[in-house]
Structure formats: C-alpha cells, structure tokens
Chain A
Amino acid sequence: MSIQNDSKSNRLRTFPGVQAIRNFLKDTRAKTGIIIFTFFSLIAILAPVLTPYNPNDNNFVPLTPPSLQHWLGTTGNGQDVFSQFVWGARTSLSIGLLAGLISTVLSVLIGMYPGYRGGWMDRIFDTITNVFLVIPSLPLIIVISSYVHSAGPWVIVFVIGLTGWAGGARVLRAQTLTYRNRDFISAAKLGGSSELRILVWEIVPNMLSLIISNFMFGTLGAILAEAGLEFLGLGNVSVVSWGTMLYWSDSGGALLMGAWWWLLPEGLAIALFGMSLALMNFGIDQLTNPRLRSDSLNKKKARIKRRESNANI
C-alpha cells in the first residue's frame, strides 16, 4: 500500500502542473512563441470567415500589387494571394501537425517501449533507429513521392510522418534507459503494475516535456519538408498550401516580374511558424534543464555562487 502511495506522489510531483505552466509563461521567448503560434492557428481555423474570395477563383487581374481589394495582391494566374495564404495556412499547418504527431507517436513506440524492455528487442530496434537516422530523409521522401504520382496531402502526411521518427526515437530511448532502474519504477514493479502501465503512467509523464519538444521539432521538419516537396512539384499542385504557393510563384517567375507579394508571405509565414515552435521549445527546455535558465533570478544566484566560491579561495 505504502509503495503505491509513494509512486503516486512521485507522479504528482513530476507531472507538469500549474507551477510548470507558470514558469513556462514567465519566459519571454516562450510567450512570443505562443502568440505567433496562436496567431497562425487562428488564421488556419478561421479561414472561411477571413477570406473574401475563393482561393481558386482566378477571375482577377493577374499580378496586381497589394491594394484594398486584394490585401496581398494577386497571383500571375489571377487569384487572390491573401485568400490563398489563409487557406494555405490551413493545409500546411494540418499537414505539419499531423505528420509531426505521427512521427512522435512512432518515436515513442519505437524508442521507448523496446528501450524499457531492453534485451534483444532493444538491440534490434536501436539498430533500426540508427540506420534510419543516417539515411537522408528529404531525398527518401522525394523518391517515395515520385513513385506515387501527384501525391495528395494525406499521402504527404504519411510519407513525412513515416520517415521522420528516427531522431526522436533515439533521444527518447536514451532518456528511457536512465529511468529503467530508478527506485520509483522498481516500486511500481513490486506493486504489480504491468509493463505497459508503468511505461504509460510512470515513465511517459516524466518524459512529457521531451516528447512535446520532439513533437514540435517534428512539426517544424514536416512543414519544411512539405514546402520542399510541393515546391518541387511532387505533390498535388492544385491543392492550395504554402508549399504549392511557392511552387506557383517560382514557376510563374514572381520575382522576375517584380511580384514580391506573391512569394514573400508564404515563405515568411513558414519561417515564423517554425520559429514559434522553436521558441516554445526554449521554454520547455528550461523547465527540464534548469541549468539553461537565463532568468534574472538564476543569474543572480550564479553570481552569488561565483562570488562565494571566489571568497572561499
């Protein structure tokens, strides 16, 4: 009974609670990240409300610069860039988040479960992970998509998700190994919890921040990969996404025509959205690794400590 209580309190203590969220929000970078992330998510969710025109409607005068009618001008094919941008956000963010989710789930399954079990199973899966880690993923994604002709968004999600798990699996496995022989795990084992239960209820909560950060970088990678694939014309170019916008503006010679408004928004948006994920990750990093904290309190502490150590000598 006491053993179970022990493991329970342990879980409560380590589960990222209110205090963790408060700490997270204290970080300016994380806050900025959340604001940018929310901004783009809202655009994507509210796409039907925000757009004055159908993104595929090509009845406008081609290549008009930004104006009151067309906030971001029109494309060389006579579509409204703003409408494309907003609907493109929906496609690109969905692809990115879904592919990031798939690769994270795979990382957790392939990295953590065998890592926890150990033995031959761990050896096999660890080797597979390392092999996939060194096989360059974008060329692999390109090769796979070229066999599937004009891959739609769903295919792209799966291809990116299925090829992007190795890095995460390696990190998660390494971390799982450090938990395997901790006291609270042994306690849970003695308490008669099943392997799966221990993994899901004892180890996963402890590694939640690592898993979330894995998901964020997975999403970032997926959005960039999607943009790359679509840019090369390997996806379905009639779907409106930030990647296909880049494709059309490049093949339509946007910059040569001086139509900067056709190329700038989507590239900038990809970079900003990616940045927001990385910024939020800073906040998470500081939660798990107090040494990286750069807030004033920590600096003061460090200064005092240094002065003390100087004084002692």
Chain B
Amino acid sequence: MSDKRNPLSFQLDVSDFLPADESEKQSLVVMRESVSFWKDGFRRLRKNKVAMVSLAVIIFIMIFAFILPAFYPYSYEQQIRGSENLGIMQYSKEELARKAAGEKVFPHFLGTDSLGRDITVRLMMGSRISLLVGLVASAIILVIGSTYGAISGYFGGKIDMIMMRIVDIIYTVPDILIIILFSVTLKYPLKDLAANVKGFAWIETVGVGLISIFIVFSLLYWVGMARIVRGQILSLKEQDYVTAAKALGASHGRIIRKHLLTNAIGPLIVTTTLQIPSAIFTESFLSFIGLGVSAPMPSLGSMASQALNGIRSYPHRLMAPAIMISIIILSFNLLGDGLRDAFDPKLKD
C-alpha cells in the first residue's frame, strides 16, 4: 500500500486483489436479456407487416365466427316465416309493419335464403365450421404425424424402413378420392356408433359430418407431417445432447419428447399452420360437392353450392361465402409464410 514502492519492483499491487465494488460489478453484467427462441421468432414476426395483418384478420374472423353468433338475434337454423328470399338489408312486410309500429327489428345484412334463414348468421356458422375443421384437423395431424415421424426417425433401421414404406404408399394414394369415399361411407357406422354404443353420444352433438371429416383428414394427411418430422429427427438425434441424455439413462420416450421434438418445434409450427388452409380448402370442396357437415348446419362450401341455383337473382348469396373462404385461406397462407420466415428461416424457398 505504500507509494514508495520502486516502480520496477515485481512486488504485486495488493489493491488489484480487493473485492470488486458495486459499480465494477454492474459494468460486467450483460446488458441485454438473453433472447429465447420464442422471443426471437416473435420479434421477427412482428416486423412482418403482411403476417401481422393476416393475424389480425384471422382474429377478427374468429370473433365473427365463434363469439358473434351467441349475441346475434337470429339463429342459423331459424326459418323466419314471410321473410324468404330477402335481398341485402331488406325487410319483409311483417317486419316493416313491426318497424312502423315502433318496434326495433334487427336488419338482415345479407338478406335471407329461400327458407327464410338469415344469411349473415349462416355465414358466421359456416366460417366457424371452416375454422374448426382447419384447426382441429391440423392439431390431429400434428399429433399423429409428429409421433409417427419421431418414432421412425429415432429408431431408424428396419423400423424406419417399414414405417416409411407405409408412408410412401399412403402418399401415392390419390387422397381426395379416398377422402370422398370415406365421407360417403363413414356417416353410417358413426351414426350407428352414436345411437347404439354408450359413451359415444357426443358424436351426435359434434355432428357426424364433422367427425367423419376429422377422421378422414387425420387418416391421410399426416404423412406429409411425418416425413418432415422424420427428416428433422434424423439430423437432431446425432447431436451431442442426445448422447448425453442417453448416457444419463433417459428413456427413449423422454429423449423424443424433451429433446428431439422440442428442438424441431420451428418446422412443426410452420407445417401445422400451413396445414390449416389446405384442410379448409378440402373441407370447402367436400361440402361444395354435397359431402361434409349435414344440414341444417351451414358450411361455406355448401352455401356456395346452394347459391348456384339462384345465381341470376341473388348473386350476393354466392359472393358472401366465396369471398369469406378466400379471405380465410389467404390469411392463413400469409400467416404461415410469415411464421416460416420468423421461426424457420432454413425452410424459406
């Protein structure tokens, strides 16, 4: 501590070894919080204007489809006598009389159909079906596809070969034909099941048509997901942390769940999101050709199909579901592209 020390002395300066004070400690703290995978992805997503607008549109449509019908004065199956075939914002004579009497009558924004059902609320319910099919089918595909792909990729060898041959065969089957076939036939055994076996009555509440669509989609569409997941797992399983987990005695299930699938989460999210519009696409096609959910439940496809007969007099009946379905698919496509850019830049083409 003395200042008299010879400047050339090798004697250590003790003050260098004093405990650091607070200000010194502060200067060493990393200023920025570490960026997690999610934060990084969402930051990139937020910068993507197109994706954010699509997300806003999707949320808006979800409110329109899931929440609004509950507060809407008409229901989708309610046939209002005397107000059949109304045009946009038209009222029937009865309703006009009630209006003249000072009563408030809720307008039919998009008119009514030939059975006197309000088209606006039917459009909401149709969008609900489309969204439900897209979301639920994608969730089922995600579960089946990722489990199958992960098992196949993780175990490799003969198991992989057999499992992938099965995938190859399903992949080459013309899916839409088989889907049509299943939709034609599945309704009967499902109805049977709901009526005769205890514990399956819920099938009727959800709707036989909807259930058969879920079954059909999950039977055929998981193969694409399985292939993608398998590819991811094949490269991930060579990583050191997997070897470490194995050395520590982790079970196969734990390694797949905790290490492999969690690290493949980016491609999983992107593939699932891009699956949604294609499921909606197929559902609308099915309901257009007269398969899919059963009447009186509307679907955008069946609404468009019914509107075809009156296209000369009531074009808006066709345009409303047509525009709706296109907007839904477009928003999910764009959101999926945005998610891909944000979470999985490698997949970008």
Q: Are A and B genuine complex partners?
A: no
Interface residues, chain B, with chain A CB atoms under 8 Å away: none
